Structure 1
Amino acid sequence: MNAKQPFQLIGFILLFGALLSGSGFLWIFGGLFLFLPAAQEWWQTRIGRWLKVDWTADQSRVMPGTPVQVTVRLHNRSWLPLPATWLRITLPDHVTVTGAAESSQSNQRTYIRLRFDVPARKTAALTLDLTPHKRGVVWLTDVECETIPLFLGEPSTLTLPLSFSLLVYPTPLPLPPLAFDETEPEGSSLSRQRQQEDMTFLRGVRPYFPGDRIKNIHWKATAKTNTLQTRLFEHTARSNWRVVGHILPSYEPSLQRHNHDENERTISCMAAISVYCRRHSLSYELFLTVKQRGRELYHLPAGSGKSHHLYVMTQLAQLHHYFTTPLTSLLRRLEDSSSKDAILLITPRLDEHVQASIDRLLRRGHRVAVLDVSGEQAALRRYETTAIQRRRAVSP
């Protein structure tokens, strides 16, 4: 017997007694008991229109271990108060929450419950502290709301839409001492591929040519000569670093092993390289052994600056479900490059096939540096070519 049946039975008995006695009070009282179940069904179908949940946070992009202050608001647009209303929110298990009424973990998920007492036509707010401990994206698309029922034993549960996301960047791995100048390609002569203008050193002016940037026009010289003059800057040569990240398959059936820890170290090392290049204003392009939108590998064109660094960190944070490609095929493509740029390989597995690919790169005049992340600490190995075109490993 559910909670509606006793009300219906009581209402039927009262109406039967009113029929026998002719009492108007029994007619009204019995009709009320029969009307309440219908009122409950009407309330359950329309309560979702009058309740709304929003979620605001003081940060949207954080590093692991950074607490984020979150404010949850429950808006009640109905004319009935909602005492003891519970919100049930599901988060990943690596997220710790403080400030919730109830918190529990099960099946690699964290479940929290928040209690609100919302008056009619009012809004109630509650502040939480979320602390993510792993990289990734924390998504919240809906929450479960539970209100006090009109009938005991039948709680009113509904799902409220919610749009919130928190991006957690990977933790940069501690790097060994790096000296990128020592691993730059041989030769200091300028070429079209490596020739750039250093905006900090002005060399002179020249007449304006169609296609010159407006921001490079020297307006004082233009005023003196009555013709447009363009600034000339000193030339500089900067190596275009090619950072190659070796991502292993999530699971290798032939070896019966999971590579989650190795891939996390590789991603953390690439994040550290991005931070290093950002601090030293180095340009680099990124290659990953994962498929991207139908392509055989992931390739990010060369760039530098804050926007390039944030884009790289965002892509590394969102790197989860992927299809990997062989590292040797990626290195084979780099062998045919006309420019002799430096290659920085980040790999957790340095086997004989990778060594053979490095030998071919060296024979073609490339410089290769390898960051081995098979252990807890990254180890740097630099390779050079000798006069007889043999490989020699130089300790850092």
Structure 2
Amino acid sequence: MFSRGQILALALLFVLSIAFRLGPLVILTLLLLLSAALAWCWKAAVLSHISYNQELSQHHAFPDDMVELAIQIVNHKLLPITALHVQEHATIGLDWSGAQRAQDWRPTSQTLQRVTSLGAYESVRWRYQLRCPHRGTFRFGPTTLEAGDPFGFTLRQLQLAKRAELVVYPRVLPLAELGLASGRPLGDSRSRHWLFTDPAHTAGARDYRFGDPLKSIHWPTTARRGSLQTRIYEPTMSLDLMVFLDLDTVQHAWEGRRSAAVERAISAAATVVQAGLAERYSAGISINGMLEFQSGLVNIPPSCSPAQLTQIFDALARVVPYALLPMPELLQQATATLPTGATVLVISVIAPNALQTSLLRIRDHGHPTIWLYLGEDSPPVVPGVQVQHAPSPAMPTSVDTPATSTGAS
């Protein structure tokens, strides 16, 4: 590439060669100056009027699904591009079926590299078949385009901020693997526990009994009959299901993290929510972790909206597999905000004493309580709590020890 100083030197040499009538040197310096001018003009225009598009065959998938990524580059001008270097940055974790890639400077990213040439008004399209091995969010972009003049004197880069995103949902497990019946995955809790009184609707009144709360006294009827009368509330049925997902997999933070165990817990949560919505529950989820690039714990209130399953699956795909708050503290905070009579289902891999105490407290607040315990050891018996033990025979027992060096994990 010609520098500014080299061009000035060539211009000075060209003038001197003319002044001293050095014919061959005049021709040589003139050719070099024309080449420099042509290279500069080519560099200025080579990456103009060019379009770059990323297209995914689908933006949501499940583990083991195949997704096609199509990349199209179009040259919308008469000037050709002799050598176009394309660097597509992408999140690691997908199976690219042998496509040429290089490690990026970021530990969670890699670079897809291609070189092509484009003639006047020509386009090129590449297709990649991607396999999704596990849940997560996978981003494509930004992209770097690099091209120059045919002589190799100049080089220009263009950064494209356009991105595409692929969200891979958690794997949905068979209900039998979690010890849940396919017909009624939550057992008979609906028929035994869901009937309660609705204070918003009064069906009548009866004589006051010792222990009735004062707020239940029906004063107009009391005045009319001359004796204390208590409201009789209409019975109603609650179909609210609140799932609490515990991301802790070891009793102490210094023990590390069991990746396979936490991923199975996330899959179990997705399975239970899907089954609950299929049984016409209003399902919600609360997680003692956060979504990537966001702050705050994950909390999606119960709903039977058609978009609820997608919203919860999207959150489970994006959740960072690290607990920010012990599950007993989360349950204590959430108890006051739970819908009246809602069924609470807690999913955990560990069984600390504080968690058992929290389960008893929720039960005492009138909530049907289910504990889906995924640990390998036998779970403790918690009176009044339906304990479902679903260990995985193939679950690795090793843990990921905390990193001792700096850098991204």
The one-letter amino acid paired with 2:330 is L
Summarize the Cα distance change of 1:313–1:393 in structure 2 as closer, same or farther, 3 Å threshold.
Answer: closer
| Larger strand share, 1 or 2 | 1
Matches within 5 A, 1:52-91: 52-91=51-90
In structure 1, the partner of 2:343 is: 342
Secondary structure in 1 matching 2:20: helix
Q: Is the 8 A contact 1:99 1:129 kept in 2?
A: no
TM-score (norm 1): 0.72
Q: May I ask how many residue pairs the two structures share in their alignment?
A: 346
1:176 aligned onto 2:173: no
In structure 2, the partner of 1:264 is: 263
| Shift in Å, 1:243 | 0.8
CA distance in 2, matches of 1:118, 1:395: 61
Secondary structure in 2 matching 1:91: strand
Q: Percent identity at matched positions?
A: 16
CA distance in 1, matches of 2:290, 2:117: 50
CA distance in 2, matches of 1:330, 1:30: 78
Q: Is the 8 A contact 2:370 2:388 kept in 1?
A: no
Gapped runs of 5+ residues in structure 2? 202-234, 391-409
Summarize the Cα distance change of 1:65–1:113 in structure 2 as closer, same or farther, 3 Å threshold.
Answer: same
Matches within 5 A, 1:4-153: 16-21=16-21, 23=23, 27=26, 30-98=29-97, 100=99, 102-105=100-103, 107-152=107-152
Deviations 1:277-329 (A, max 9, x none): 24333322222224699997433121225411011111111223877223222
Secondary structure in 1 matching 2:71: strand
CA distance in 1, matches of 2:358, 2:17: 95
CA distance in 2, matches of 1:295, 1:162: 25
The one-letter amino acid paired with 1:136 is G
| Shift in Å, 1:348 | 2.0
The one-letter amino acid paired with 1:52 is S
| Shift in Å, 1:345 | 0.1
CA distance in 2, matches of 1:192, 1:41: 79
Gapped runs of 5+ residues in structure 1? 196-234, 386-390
TM-score (norm 2): 0.70
CA distance in 1, matches of 2:84, 2:237: 65
| Shift in Å, 1:112 | 1.8
Secondary structure in 2 matching 1:97: coil
CA distance in 1, matches of 2:386, 2:266: 28
In structure 1, the partner of 2:352 is: 351
Matches within 5 A, 1:189-208: 189=195, 191-192=197-198
| Shift in Å, 1:165 | 1.5
Summarize the Cα distance change of 1:297–1:13 in structure 2 as closer, same or farther, 3 Å threshold.
Answer: closer
CA distance in 2, matches of 1:301, 1:46: 54
Q: Is the 8 A contact 1:340 1:365 kept in 2?
A: yes
In structure 2, the partner of 1:328 is: 328
Summarize the Cα distance change of 1:126–1:290 in structure 2 as closer, same or farther, 3 Å threshold.
Answer: closer
In structure 1, the partner of 2:219 is: none
CA distance in 2, matches of 1:277, 1:164: 32
